[in-house]
Amino acid sequence: MTTENTPQPSGDIRWHEHAITRKDRWGKQNTRGCTLWLTGLSGAGKSTIANAAAHQLFTSGVPVYVLDGDNLRHGLNVDLGFSDEDRAENVRRVGEVAILLADAGFVVFVPIISPFAEGRQTVRQRHESSGLSFAEVFIATSVEECAERDTKGLYAKAAKGELTGLTGVDAPYEAPRSPEMTLLTSQRSVETCAEELLSGMNHLWS
C-alpha cells in the first residue's frame, strides 16, 4: 500500500481539538509520549525485549504500553492476512494506534516485523507530522539464529513446506538502513538488550 493509496478522510469530517491539551497531559505526568518501533524477523526477540524494557520503565513510574503485532491480529487486525497489501495495512493501523497512545503520554513499544521500509517510513512521517517522537529500533538477529530459536515453530513448518510467506525465508524483509538503534541479540541476555534500549532512547521521554 503506497501513501497515495492510503484512505483519506471525507472533506465533511472535521478535526476536533481536545479540551485537555497534550502539553497539559504530559506536564501532569512529567513525561513525554513517544514510540519505539522494534522491527526484525520472527523470533528475533522483538516482543521479549519490548516487554522487558517496558516493565523496567513501568516500575520507575513511566506510563508505557506494548502494542504487540501478534496480539493485535486477534482483534484490531483480525481481518488481515499476510499478503503484501495486508501486511502494509497492518503496519498502518498499528502506527495510528501508536500515535494515539503517544499523544496520551505513553512510551509506546511496538514489536512488529513490519517488513517493508516504505511502511515504516510512513509511520515515522505520521508521527513527525503529529509532533511526536519516533525511533526505529532494528533487532538484528540473523534468519539462521531465528530458525534455531524457532519459538513459534514457524521455521520448522516452512522447512517442511507446511508454511509459505514466512518473512526472511520466502517473503522479503527490508532491513532498516538508518535506524536510531540497532540491537545485536546473539549471545546477549534480554536484560542487557533492554537496558541498552532504554539508556539509548531515554531522551525521548525524559
Which residues on neighbouring strands pair with residue 139, listed in sequence order? 183
What cell was used for 162? Answer: 507446511
Would you state the torsion angle of the CA atoms of residues 71, 156, 177, 31, taken in this order, to the nearest 10 degrees?
A: 30
Length of the chain: 206
Which residues are part of the catalytic machinery? 114
Go through 36-46 and write b for each residue having 16 or more CB atoms within 10 A of its CB, e for each that does not: bbbbbbbbbbb
CA dist 75 and 130 (Å) reads: 25
Amino acid making up residue 14: R
Cell of 169: 525465508
> What pairing do the DSSP bridges indicate for beta strands 64-66 and 107-111?
parallel
Question: What is d(CA 125, CA 97) in angstroms, rounded to the nearest whole number?
Answer: 14
Q: Residue 6 contacts by C-beta under 8 Å, 6 or more apart in sequence? A: 92, 122
Determine the distance from the C-alpha atom of residue 151 to the mean position of all C-alpha atoms in its chain, rounded to a whole number: 19
